[in-house]
Amino acid sequence: MLLPSSSGGGRGAAAAAFKTYLQTCATLLDKCLAGGSLAGGQAIHAHAIKTGISSLRPLPAKFLTIYSAAGGAGDCAAALRESCLSSGGFDLLSWNVTIAAWVRNGELAAARRLFDAMPERNDISWTLMIDGSMKSGKVSDGIAFLRGCPSPTVVSWTAAMAGLVQNGHPLHALELFHGMLMAGVAPNEITFTAAVRASIAAGRFDLGGTSFLSISNSLITLHTRMKDLASARQIFDRMKTKDVVSWTAMLDLYFQEGDLRGARKTFDEMPHKNEVSWSLMVARHNQAGQAMEALKLFERMFCAGLRPTLSSLSAAISAAGGNEALLVGSTLHGCSIKLGIDDSDFISSSLIDMYCKCGRPEEGRRVFDVAPEKKNLICWNAMVSGYCRNGSFPDAMELFERMPQRNRASWNGLISGLILDASGGGGPSALTLSSVLRCCAGSSALEKGRAVHCLVAKLGLQDDLFMGTALTDMVFSLMGEKNEASWSAAIHGFAANGLAEEALLLFEDAVAAMKVPTGTLFLSVLSACAHGGLVEKGLRYFGLMRAHGLVPAEKHYACLVDLLARAGRLPGAWAALLSACRGRVEEEVAERAAVRLREMEEGDPRSYVLLSSVYAGIGRWEDAERVRALMGPAGVRKGRGCSWVVGKGRGSHRFVCGDVSHERGPEIYEMLELLMSEMSSCLVA
């Protein structure tokens, strides 16, 4: 397919059409892939070859994907040639996809030829050959590919291990596992699974030699993470040689069981202890509520000449806070400065918590302020909770609202502090609690909002103006789906609490959300305008009703009358009432309203015109003419109706009712007669 050779717009249009055509082919291929339709993909491929676009991007890669998913290795090879044409040479991804297709098809020799011909390879290329060789029973080739890989990944090692187990070489798989660990490659769950299968197949749970020590330790860790504690303990008990890692892994096992006593017994029996062992014991005793014992363990560790780790030091600082041991905590603070780790998030959060628990929130704030600019959430939570614990609610709220993010602990700290203070007397103010409710609304924290609402009720603050507004805002903000009733209720709630402007903003949001506003919504906003004395805005909203295809009902006119009357504009109120009587059998009310309007505005023609319209609307034509006739003797004149026509680039033309003085009057009236004649003909037809 060739693009037109014409220049200008023709070439651009042809290019755009061709681009659309190519994209359509790509979209159809995506649908074939999603539906597993190899036949569909082949049909589109044939069409693409026929039209000469099969090598144009992105089609070759999509052909490769479809053929690879369907196991069509031969088709993949053909698509690979087109992909090379598309990329102008070698494309690594396309070659790997094709090799995968050959391997999956069991044609290892073809995959090997393609692999050998590759100008460059990555770890995926090598792993494909390792996996293919192992699955074909060519174990030595698989190991050779592993050794030839410049930087084997955990996937490469695991593929080789699994292949060795599958081909009956479990001990070699365990040796390979050890080699992987020595190479510094971290195993994943699949690797551990392969190691376990190798151990079971070899019947070797007594791997005590140095070469298998790391394997045994890894297996203990694996079983502990899988909650298979019995198997982990069995491996440990059968090990002939154990190191500090083995013992520490058993400590973790006891902690998983919640057996602190068993962990302590194991710890005391350990021939050698390292920083990890000590840190575990300090941290776990502190978490178990044994703060004093945690501090003693930390002191023993320090006296043993071991450098405290971040974990052990932060646990010790936390334990000092739990004991309200300010002197010990300050000493540990100095220790962290001496070690150069006082700016760590772990240490900072522990220091903040310690100082606040010891009744020194100002010291905690100093630590908070000098902590790294991007301090973690734990530091923020510790400072907010610390302020609440010490009764500094304004400071807590100020910090809470500045938090870059919040989690459950953030809310729990704030609310627990409020409840604690309320239980002790005094209690937070309505302003503070309303601020918390607004935070709940802004963060969609319904559960926390309910807790604060309960506290509001307990303190008897539910009738407070700020509190009512905040509760309305929170409940409405947390609603999943909003309908006409919920929007109207929220608008009315804001208006009733003296927040008319907020109610109008909510109305605008409702119109944007619902697209087509309802009469109920307009009634709510008119009521809000009446409460807030917003006359002009109320009149504007009343006029907008007809723009949205809504006919004002009696209740809308009642709101308008209320709005005008509250603002001291009684003539306007009577006029609104008189207008509301049109189209309804309310002539008695209309007559009284017209009389009152004439009394207040003698020269205003509205009372005559509106009353005449009321009579006409109910078929009292003589009374309608009589009222119109009264305007002359009363000296009341109604301005004549007029309209404008704006010509395109030719200025505007003004037409007044009954005026025939326009310079092109004859032509205009001739055209009107022609139009009326045409309209009459259409009606007759």
Token look-up 């000590």 returns 278
Cβ atoms of 360 and 326 within 8 Å: the answer is yes
How far is residue 640's CA from residue 656's CA, in Å, rounded to a whole number?
7
| Beta-ladder partners of 214 | none
Task: State whether residue 654 is helix, strand or coil.
Answer: strand
Give the pLDDT confidence score for residue 247 in this predicted structure.
87
pLDDT digits (tens, 9 = 90+) for 395-406: 888 898 888 887
Residue 362 has pLDDT above 90, yes or no: yes
Mean confidence (pLDDT) of the chain: 74
CA quadruple 136, 141, 144, 146: dihedral, nearest 10:
-10
58 cis-preceded (ω within 30 degrees of 0): yes
pLDDT of residue 566: 67
Q: How far is CA 278 from CA 58, 261, 287, 333, 334, in A?
A: 58, 15, 14, 19, 21
Looking at mean pLDDT, say which of 121-135, 332-346, 489-503 comes out highest: 121-135
Could you give the CA distance from residue 25 to residue 59 in angstroms, rounded to a whole number? 8
d(CA 581, CA 610): 9
Could you give the CA distance from residue 198 to residue 219 in angstroms, rounded to a whole number?
A: 11
Query: Which residue intervals of 498-586 are DSSP H helices?
Result: 500-514, 519-532, 535-547, 554-566, 570-580
Lowest mean pLDDT among 131-145, 184-198, 291-305, 611-625: 611-625
Q: What is the mean pLDDT of residues 334-341?
A: 87
Positive or negative, the CA dihedral 248, 254, 258, 262 is negative
DSSP string, 124-137: HHHHHHHHHHHHTT
CA distance 254 to 266: 9
User: pLDDT tens for residues 528-560?
Assistant: 888 888 888 888 888 888 888 888 887 887 787
Q: Which of 171-185, 198-212, 452-466 has the highest mean pLDDT?
A: 171-185
Residue ranges of domains in the chain: 29-120, 273-375, 643-684
Q: Is the predicted pLDDT of residue 612 greater than 80, yes or no?
A: no
Residue 403: what residue type? Answer: M
Residue 327 pLDDT grade (very low, low, confident, very high; cuts 50, 70, 90): very high
Q: Do 53 and 26 form a contact (C-beta atoms < 8 A)?
A: no
Q: Which carries the bigger pLDDT value, residue 445 or residue 496?
A: 496
Answer whether residue 126 shows pLDDT above 90. Answer: yes
List Cα–Cα distances, 261 to 237, 267, 315, 644, in angstroms: 19, 10, 19, 96
What is the arithmetic mean of pLDDT over 204-208? 51
Q: Where are the beta strands (DSSP E) in 427-523?
A: none
Per-residue pLDDT reduced to its tens digit, 209-240 = 444 676 777 777 777 777 777 878 888 887 87
pLDDT tens digits for range 433-470: 666 666 665 554 556 666 666 767 676 766 665 566 66
Measured distance CA(626)–CA(681) in Å, rounded: 36
Instruction: Give the helix ranges, DSSP H, for 581-664.
Output: 587-600, 606-617, 621-629
**Sign of the C-alpha dihedral computed for residues 659, 663, 664 and 666 taken in this order:** positive
pLDDT at 438: 61
**Residue 490's pLDDT band (cuts 50, 70, 90):** confident
Distances (CA, A) of 322 to 279, 329, 333, 366: 18, 10, 15, 20
**pLDDT score, position 330:** 92
**Separation of alpha carbons 199 and 213, rounded Å:** 13
- Burial label, 22 (beta-carbon count in 10 A; 0-12, 13-18, 19+): middle
Q: How far apart are CA 41 and CA 66, in angstroms?
A: 7
Q: What percent of the chain has pLDDT above 90?
A: 12
Show the tokens assigned to 181: 């660990």
Contact call for residues 336 and 343 (beta carbons, < 8 A): no
pTM: 0.44
Joined together, the tokens standing for residue 597 give 């309007």
CA distance 476 to 487: 8
**Cβ within 8 Å of residue 72, ≥6 positions away:** 38, 101
Structure tokens at 458: 């307990």
What's the CA gap between 600 and 597, in Å, rounded? 5
pLDDT in tens, 150-170: 889 999 999 999 999 999 998
Strand-strand pairing, 642-646 and 652-656: antiparallel
The answer to whether residue 8 scores a pLDDT higher than 50 is: no
Decide if 653 contacts 647 (C-beta within 8 A): yes
The listed range with the strongest mean pLDDT (105-109, 146-150, 528-532, 656-660) is: 146-150
- Give the model confidence (pLDDT) of 555-590 as tens digits: 887 787 777 766 656 565 555 655 666 555 555 556
